[in-house]
A and B are shown apart, each in its own frame.
Chain A
């Protein structure tokens, strides 16, 4: 199998166009090569995932585990070394799929000499939008991401979080059905990341599909319906967030204002019931624990890994 296969369009994905599956990767792999064609890094190995319509899908993994690579393969920014990726039933390298996609890259790669309005106007033009619509959209989006006071300032003057916000607005300019977000909350202030999460959930409720990757595990736990955890280019865990976290038969008790006596009583109660008190500290984020376990190889991934 070779990269040229990625241009083929005859062999259709197993899904048909109006089915529930928005993104499908089949045996997707990427090896970065240097100029002379020598192998440098196997960034992604044989990935099979399906993202369904109307869900928020999270990609997790430590630095360099292949999250951004996966996203770029799905967008056609990279050509796979093996396997294929489909979006809306179209090959990842078909540009027409982009009509329905909004993409926020790792860093907002925007033209620094444009101001917020010009930026949105420019990207809206790329969707072949007439002038009136462009104006209306960019006004609304600038207000939505809270940049209306900085709308006439060049992006070079923007702070990191402001750049992230205009990047998000840019990704939403075509009212996409699929939103791909590469670390959406980095650089955002707490209110910003709260708003971002609310927005993601709101969009999901409108029936849009969201693929995101993030290091903010709490955020992921808050918003994602399903997650895939990558480690060194391999898929190690895939499933619904609630069931993934429920696998571990742990009950958490959150309470304030109870005395040590009461705590002891509760422990007593559990023991009487045949249970066992594991810990009774301030609770850690369970997502984080799951993540750390997988990444530190304390626990074999529940999925068979390739190779």
Chain B
């Protein structure tokens, strides 16, 4: 699982500074203009240039002055209810049967002996649910209005005092209600499936003669050993879980349910900076992978990775007896070295003023898994170079609640790689059920967006075409980041026109375009920028569906932070408004009986 930098922002940071308001506003303006131009062109083809302008503004006026104020909850409800009944009549409940069947046969292709069984089960149910639900949303929304047009039942509706807004909202809400009912049922089934799937018991096996340690039986492809202290004890960790062991009065050992499989860790992320080989602020190394996601630091140099955490208080960390740190760093080897122990590094906690720091806490990189460290509150360190005993929260965390964590690589010639999300403080746990709910909320938002898009396209396209259009958005949205690179305009060799000129003239992408005509070159650049910006807006306008899918968080045991949920909800609402307005325009200007 990979958490992008911008996903770690809090809701307000995002809303105000990044991608949110500002870019949202730009995109909204660009899109409104685009929408206006498209509608204008469509109208112009019909009525000529001056009439068309009048026509489009008139529709906008009608929306704001009449149809929106005239929209009645009761009518929207009636239409939504109709859409719901229609969907039920179309036997959407069959989807439920499919889902149950999939769960029943899941045993055939889910390996119960897998190391990360919880992850496997969660990913499975959530992926299954989202495919079924998205497909459902697609079919329901794309075919409904065209079917109504074809059967002309819409004529009986529009000759009642029904606003176009109400038809659009009624559909969207009705289908969303159907989807929600199904999603909730699937969610409950999924939860039960996961809980039951990971549940297993062991019997007590061989017990040591003093009765204080022993082995469990071999069940679910593994066995544990356990230690007792008094009448209680725990087993060792196998496949990511432990069991509680209790000794009953008659000397029997009872081994409980597996624990620690279903997590919802609450990570506290920090800001990551690097120092260079001279110990001065700098950037990390790129070891040659295309992907710029992780940066590397060199062993036994002054290079370090520095995370700065804010708001570090004992109350956030279960009273603060320890500071739990979790990390999953990458190792990059330039020599074989000690292959058995792995690459070594060290953690140092530092005050932001740089004068107080803890001793080095050494570690060995556990690649591809999460390394958990509990740093005791009291530890030795130094103040102004003098050795002292320190208290993390009293001495190392500064007045503003900030704490620096420095990571160094202590293996000569080896490198450690990290990104901001790879080291975090673990501020307790949320409950798994709640986290799963938030994961399903992500699927719900995806479904809602698809329904909005489907309804929008179906107001002016026939059913199958609307479906293709929605699916195109979906695919572009899933590969949103890919499309984004194309659209951000940071391409050597210029935009489409410039590149087209470079190909036949064989000019390299690294030199400036030279046509011997500065005005022409300038014009080409401006037009190119225009094209790139339009592409950018269009891609930006397509909801990046992939982003809404937070099931990885659930599967990998991370709490989906509420800032992220809030952000997704905001985007969902924005897209909902946008698609409804466009749908309104097309429905309003469509001759219902001419179809």
Contacts and interface: CB of A to CB of B under 8 A. Distances in A.
A80 to B, nearest CB: 10
Nearest to A124: B78
A18 B506 CA distance: 77
Nearest to A129: B74
A77 B591 contact: yes
Interface stretch (A94-102, A186-194, A214-222, A242-250): A94-102
Contacts of B19: none
Contact of B159 (A75, A96, A110, A114): A75
A77 B155 contact: yes
A77 B48 contact: no
Given A78-B593, A123-B160, A127-B160, A4 B78 contact: no
A174 to B, nearest CB: 8
Contacts of A111: 82, 86, 153
B43 interface: yes
Interface string B53-80: 0110011001000110010101101110
B155 A114 contact: no
Given A3-B46, A123-B156, 19 more contacts: A2-B48, A4-B47, A7-B58, A37-B45, A72-B593, A77-B158, A78-B591, A78-B593, A95-B70, A98-B160, A98-B161, A98-B162, A105-B159, A108-B156, A113-B89, A125-B74, A125-B77, A126-B162, A127-B160
Given A126-B162, A128-B74, A78 B594 contact: yes
A99 B89 contact: no
Interface string A241-280: 0000000000000000000000000000000000000000
B156 A101 contact: no
B54 A4 contact: yes
Contacts of B152: 105, 107, 109
A220 B463 CA distance: 41
A170 interface: yes
**Top 3 A-B pairs ranked by shortest CB distance?**
A125-B78, A77-B593, A126-B160
A4 B58 contact: yes
A114 B46 contact: no
Interface in A94-147: 95-96, 98-99, 101, 103, 105, 107-111, 113-114, 122-123, 125-128
Contacts of A174: 160
A88 interface: no
Given A77-B593, A110-B156, A122-B82, A96 B47 contact: no
Contacts, number: 99
B431 interface: no
Contacts of A2: 46-48, 51
A76 B592 CA distance: 9
18 contacts: A4-B55, A37-B46, A77-B159, A77-B593, A78-B591, A95-B163, A96-B161, A98-B161, A103-B156, A105-B155, A109-B152, A109-B156, A110-B153, A110-B156, A114-B85, A122-B81, A122-B82, A127-B160
Interface in A14-44: 32, 37
Contacts of A37: 45-46
A125 B389 CA distance: 75
A7 B55 CA distance: 8
Contacts of B70: 95-96
Contacts of A127: 160-161
B83 to A, nearest CB: 11
Contacts of B48: 2
Contacts of B98: none
A98 B159 contact: yes
Contact of A109 (B74, B78, B155): B155
Contacts of B43: 4
A109 B151 contact: yes
Interface of A: 2-5, 7-8, 32, 37, 72, 75-79, 95-96, 98-99, 101, 103, 105, 107-111, 113-114, 122-123, 125-128, 170, 174
A276 B342 CA distance: 125
Nearest to B82: A122
A37 B82 CA distance: 34
Nearest to A77: B593
Nearest to B58: A7
Given A2-B48, A78-B591, A109-B151, A95 B156 contact: no
B156 A113 contact: no
A282 B107 CA distance: 85
Contacts of B52: 4
A95 B82 contact: no
B157 interface: yes
Question: Which residue, of B43, B47, B591, has the highest number of chain A Cβ atoms within 10 A?
Answer: B591
Nearest to A30: B594
Contacts of B51: 2, 4-5
B156 A128 contact: no
Contact of A113 (B46, B58, B86, B592): B86
A241 B537 CA distance: 64
Contacts of B85: 113-114
Nearest to A32: B594
Interface in B118-148: none
